[in-house]
Amino acid sequence: MPADEFKEMWRYLETDLPHSFRFTGSKADALEVRDILKSRYIPAIKPIQVDGQPVEPPEPVPFFLDELVWNVKAHKKVIRKYPPFKDFQQFLVAETASGNISRQEIVSMLPPIFLHVRPGMTVLDMCAAPGSKSAQLAEMIHGDEDERVRQVASGTSLEKLEGAGDYTDDGRSTGLLIANDADYKRSHMLVHQVKRLNFPNLIVTQHDASNYPSIKLPTTEDQPNRYLKFDRILADVPCSGDGTARKNPNVWGKWTPRDALGLHNLQLRILERGLQLLKIGGRLVYSTCSMHPVENEAVIAAAIKKCGGVSKVQLVDCSDEMPLLKRRPGLTSWKVFDMTTVQGKDKKAHFFSSFEKFEERKRIFEKEEPGRQFSNKIYPDMFPPPPVPDDERIPLERCMRIYPHLQNTGAFFIAVFEKKAELTPSKSEPNVRGSASKSNEGETNINLDDLSSPRKRPLEDDDGSAPPRKLRAGATDSDGDAITNGDHSPVDYQAAVNNAEGDAVEVAQEPAGSNDELQPEPSAEPESDKSDAESSKALESDGLSKKKIKREDASQEIVKRGKRGGKSQEEYFEYLPEDHSAIKQIFEFFSISDRFPRDRFMVKNEEGVAVNKIYYTSKLTKSIVATNKARGVKFVHCGVAMFVSHSIKGDLKCPWRLQAEGIRIIEPWVSARIVTCNSRSTLHKMLIEMFPIANKNGCLDLEEVGEQLENPDLVPGCCILKVEANGGELGFKFPIVLPLWRHPGSINVMVSKEERLALLLRLYNEKDPKIRNHITDAKKGGSA
Ligand SMILES: C[S@@+](CC[C@H](N)C(=O)[O-])C[C@H]1O[C@@H](n2cnc3c(N)ncnc32)[C@H](O)[C@@H]1O
């Protein structure tokens, strides 16, 4: 990078990163919420002036389509001070809670876009926690299936619906996302994040990605041993995180060159495993939030070499993709940087352009300065690949480097691969350890029994050290060396880089370092089953006490045990037979079409008893979970909660109610117990009232909803409250479907407080603090 540009980059690195967010969910929903931002909040913010100068209102980021990604540059003091900004902030918080907005760094949104995921594809996210990119991938697999299912269920033939992607499951996407993370706590953060998506084509696993198990597919007559290969793979690997310095200022104090040296091998093994698991013709994106070539181009070059060269895997030239995204080409030459000390002091930086030069310098030091030690993690493949004939050359310039100054973002590295042929296993395969073996087609078959053995930790590195767990948090030096680098000014750094080969450069005194984690993480608490608690509160609100359920949902117990032990615990995923009495009862009560599959319902207890909750998964999810759970694949999560059981006082024809999470999946196929609402004021009444509301013979007039409740066939139990898109006087563009509990003389809407607040704000711009407090403060007895 030219010196002037480097200074410019440094200037940006020293400034705060603008906040950014993305509209999420199905495209139609995302566009609607975006339009509320554009029509309600932006015009109110635009006239604000600070010290006579107009403020910068939130604005869409130009290289993302459809204005679905926005930047907020205004300072937080301004946001706190001015009411239109405060309103906007309230909207952001509410929509984030209800899953329509996701706060995410701009650069972090890029890797999934370069994957070109379409509905129907099988996708693996190898290092997925906390899950922001998994959410993007899930949305892409989902496509516009909500709309398609609606049309198919109302009689349109599937063939008539055009569009890219496989929706042959009666309008539903046939695709699958497997989101994986090696870390127990982080994998539960991931579950928390992806659960909000209510996406049945999703599995969360907890494995070391560098040894990711081969996933078996159900046997067929001619193919007894079939393994899943993925159409798309994201390897957003653990990295030293220097690209996040704007967001995580602690990077300045904690970063050391050894972070990258310690991570290179793990990154390489993860990438290699990803390329093995990829279909021929499939795409893999490798990404880091680091600018360090040892974690980036060096990993890319080494992986291609180990996989058999450019005839097997190619780097894709993406220069015509996202044309408005400013980027720099990948590096083709670089130096490897280490920092040495003697007894923790006398810090010196060394740069090497080849492994030979490094070894030479090491030998000199061994003789002349025996106390001074280099990292023992410098390997030949960390250096630029040597010159080769043109047809073997790896075009590293096709990698993409996003620097902070190019468009006021964090830094990121992205490389896109396409697999051209089965891989040639390299002789010294570094990513296959222990009992892994090679099949004929370059597939690594891992003996899962070995992996689950406590004696043989699959996460261990060559030297027995576990891979870094605190990722992007300036991975602690794997040599146990406590060095942190100094406060490099651009001049120091440049001087060091330009210095003669391997010569030591004194590095400025390090500032008082902070021991804070670099990246504040969301709560690492394992996910608890909130909706169960919600549902019991809802019932208590009826004055109906929940009978003691004899058995807890086993998964809750497991989560609690897991929390105590901090270790992975077994989860249960038991599918119910399609003629199970509970399924039969539910299908009859709600008059659910026979076209809706009955064989994909699952419970999460060891005995497979439908006692508390019934979950729904996609077909492929079911076949993968059922085929692999006994093979030792660690499934952490799958399934969308669809039915919840209540034992309440009084006779109920059907004790099962539809759960808010799953209602949109099944509603198009339901033809009984639907209550429609086309009045703004009635819907408003139902949303602001936390307690059961009486029908028109009682204290509140529920207009046409009240009339529907007069129908004697609508016996107590769960109903669906339905507001059609663009229906009646409402003018809402959203179709709304919510679970509604019908009591003998009253009803209540069964959604969480957060969702209720978000709906009121979105649909009615309801900001009345009395109403909001009434909902927020509702204790037991409210339906939220
Ligand atoms: C850069 S973060 C991933 C961020 C994530 N893709 C997102 O966008 O939210 C890297 C993740 O890799 C995980 N990790 C570290 N070592 C791993 C390994 N050997 N296998 C799988 N995951 C690993 C960490 O727990 C961490 O959550």
Give the Cα separation of 524 and 183 in Å (integer).
11
CA of 409 to the centre of ligand 1 (A): 21
pLDDT, the chain, mean = 81
Identify residue 396 by its one-letter amino acid code.
Answer: L
Of residues 685, 644, 680, 679, the one with CA closest to residue 661:
644
State the pLDDT confidence band at 679, using cuts at 50, 70 and 90.
confident
Token digits for 387? 């010159």
Q: Is the CB of 130 under 6 A from ligand 1?
A: yes
CB atoms within 10 A of CB 615: 24
Q: Is the CB of 472 under 6 A from ligand 1?
A: yes
- What share of the chain in percent tops pLDDT 90? 58
Q: Is the pLDDT of residue 497 over 60?
A: no
State the pLDDT confidence band at 522, using cuts at 50, 70 and 90.
very low
Mutate to test the pocket of ligand 1, among 471, 472, 634 (most ligand atoms within 8 A of CB): 471
> Tokens 């497991």, residue?
558
Q: Is the pLDDT of residue 518 over 80?
A: no
The answer to whether 554 is a known ligand-binding residue is no
State the pLDDT confidence band at 703, using cuts at 50, 70 and 90.
confident
For residues 736 and 713, the answer to whether their CB atoms sit within 8 Å is no
Q: Is the CB of 127 under 6 A from ligand 1?
A: yes
Q: Is the CB of 110 under 6 A from ligand 1?
A: no
Dihedral Cα 576, 582, 584, 590, nearest 10 deg: -120
The answer to whether 74 is a known ligand-binding residue is no
**Helix, strand, coil shares of the chain as percentages rounded to 5?**
35, 20, 45
N residues, the chain:
784
Burial class (CB in 10 A: 0-12, 13-18, 19+), 454: exposed
State the pLDDT confidence band at 101, using cuts at 50, 70 and 90.
very high
Supply the DSSP string of 420-450, one letter for each residue.
-SPPPPPSS-TT--TT-EE-TTSPEEP-HHH
Q: Is the pLDDT of residue 536 over 70?
A: no
Mutate to test the pocket of ligand 1, among 180, 183, 271 (most ligand atoms within 8 A of CB): 183
What sign results for the dihedral spanned by CA atoms 246, 251, 253, 259? negative
Q: Average pLDDT for residues 658-662, to the nearest whole number?
A: 94
Q: Is the CB of 133 under 6 A from ligand 1?
A: yes
Q: Is 719 in the active site?
A: no
> Catalytic residue among 289, 654, 718, 719, which?
289
CB atoms within 10 A of CB 64: 19
Give the Cα separation of 203 and 524 in Å (integer).
19
Asked whether the bond before 458 is cis by omega within 30 degrees of 0, the reply is no
Residue 389: which residues within 8 A CB-CB, separation 6 or more? none
Q: What is the pTM of this model?
A: 0.84
| Interface predicted TM-score (ipTM) of this complex, two decimals | 1.00
Which has more confidence, 574 or 678?
A: 574
Smallest CA separation from ligand 1 atom 11, residue: 127
Please give the backbone phi and psi of residue 421, each rounded to the nearest 5 degrees, phi first. Answer: -155, 165
For residues 596 and 679, the answer to whether their CB atoms sit within 8 Å is no
Smallest CA separation from ligand 1 atom 1, residue: 238
Q: Is the CB of 183 under 6 A from ligand 1?
A: yes
Q: Is the pLDDT of residue 461 over 50?
A: no
Q: Is the pLDDT of residue 190 over 60?
A: yes
State the pLDDT confidence band at 569, using cuts at 50, 70 and 90.
low
Smallest CA separation from ligand 1 atom 13, residue: 127
How far is Cα of residue 52 from the mean position of the Cα atoms in its chain? 42
Q: Is the CB of 263 under 6 A from ligand 1?
A: no
Mutate to test the pocket of ligand 1, among 109, 178, 181 (most ligand atoms within 8 A of CB): 181
Mean pLDDT lowest for which of 147-161, 396-410, 444-458, 500-514? 444-458
